[in-house]
Amino acid sequence: MNGLTPATDGFDKLLKGLKDMPEATAQEALKTLVARETLRVDAQRDERAHALKKQGLWFGCLLSFSMLIAAVVVGLGGNTTLAIVMCGPSLVALAGIFVIQTYNAAQTRAVAQTTTQALTATTGPP
């Protein structure tokens, strides 16, 4: 049930009391209970979505910083080609997926083209 738990205590009390209530009052009581349960379940769903989004943001930031640090270390070690690739489309795609939570293919292609130009300027034509 997606981690959403129903609150049965109010429902059980209401069912016991419905036998003694007139029909119109019982219908109003049920409507009130359903509305309250709907609000509670929506609040649980929103809380879970917020927690997942926050977790994705932290993971994306950690991954992006790790890739940047690794690119600097690799670049200082003399392998500039690998450093450029690590800072290029790979970083933009991963940051886009985890932090922004969207994937823009056009933006990734533009970064890949810029990365190719930077690689050609750094290493010469193939």
- Identify the segments of the chain with pLDDT beneath 50: 1
Number of structural domains in the chain: 1
47 within some domain = yes
2 within some domain = no
Domain containing 27 equals 9-123
17 within some domain = yes
Please return the burial class of 76, using the count of CB atoms within 10 Å of its CB with bins 0-12, 13-18 and 19+.
exposed
3 within some domain = no
Q: What is the pLDDT of residue 17?
A: 67
The answer to pTM > 0.75 is no
Query: Contact at 8 Å (CB) between 13 and 29?
Result: no
Q: What is the pLDDT of residue 113?
A: 82
Query: Contact at 8 Å (CB) between 105 and 74?
Result: no
Q: What is the pLDDT of residue 15?
A: 67
14 within some domain = yes
Q: What is the pLDDT of residue 1?
A: 46
For residue 41, which of 16, 15, 11, 81 has the smallest C-alpha distance? 11
